[in-house]
Amino acid sequence: MGKWRMKLVLLLVIVNTIGIFAIIPYGLTIMGNQSIPGDMPTSLIVGINSTFQAVYMFVMIVIGLRLQNRTGLNAPILNGMVYPKTRVRISKKWLIYSIVGALIGSISIILLDVLVFNPLMGSPMVQLPSPNWWQGLLASLYGGVTEEIMLRLFGMTFIVWLLAWITKKEKDHIPNSFYYVAIFPAAIVFGLGHLPATLEVFGDLSSILVIRALVLNGLLGLWFGYLYWRKGLEYAIIAHLSADIFLHVLFVSILN
């Protein structure tokens, strides 16, 4: 791996670490009412988990960046920060598209939950504590950066690379269908990742609750994946960050 690529790895590691530790206040609030076996402090558990996550995310960053070269996927703005010869100007048009798409998706998620899923679900067994707006704002850094590295930079890139490797396609000859195929599993995995929280709140996982987790959490993932493919990882990060701010800061304040 070249010197400039190592600089990119370091940059992403630093930003990702900020995201991991930014979610700690949010996580501590959510865990406030949980019973923890033994005498281990909650803060220690969160610290150990954050450290472990930082380690495996480093591995994902390295693998994702190496595979990008073989898939046509990219992080052009970040590349330009560490390798000036590849500097790319930020597209104001796509920046607006990213944020507006996140806004439309966030509103759609709220409407689907209120109008479609809530009438079909039972009452929650556990009422989780509500984090403060600033905790939600910090947690948005985790969603925007860490989850995009995990699901798009690593997950989506790996799927495209695997499909290209199986079919022996070179980077410049990878069909669009491979990227569309990769977008969906990454979004589904994101939805599946929210099932433990759903189980904790409702006490079981009925089919409607599983569908709810997949739809509500995976819907925006399709948009993030498309942005990663067409414009680069940075636009997916901006869209994800915007969506989390809408959902966990702005709309929560309005609805409450």
pLDDT tens digits, one per residue of 213-222: 899 989 999 9
Residue 140, Cβ density class (10 Å: 0-12 exposed, 13-18 middle, ≥19 buried): buried
> The tokens of 44 are what?
């220690």
How confident is the model over 126-158, as pLDDT tens digits?
666 778 888 989 999 999 999 999 999 999 999
Q: What is residue 174's predicted lDDT score, i.e. its pLDDT?
A: 95
* Tokens 């994702």, residue located: 64
d(CA 76, CA 83): 10
Q: Residue 213: name the closest of 196, 232, 236, 238 by CA.
A: 196
The whole-model pTM stands at: 0.91
Q: Residue 65: name the closest of 141, 140, 144, 11 by CA.
A: 11
Q: For residues 142 and 25, is the Cβ–Cβ distance under 8 A?
A: no
How confident is the model over 151-187, as pLDDT tens digits?
999 999 999 999 999 999 998 899 999 999 999 999 9
Give mean pLDDT, residues 104-133.
83
- What torsion, rounded to 10 degrees, do the Cα atoms 28, 112, 230, 65 define? 30
How confident is the model over 81-101, as pLDDT tens digits?
887 676 678 899 999 999 999
Higher pLDDT pick, 205 / 67: 67
Q: What is residue 140's predicted lDDT score, i.e. its pLDDT?
A: 94
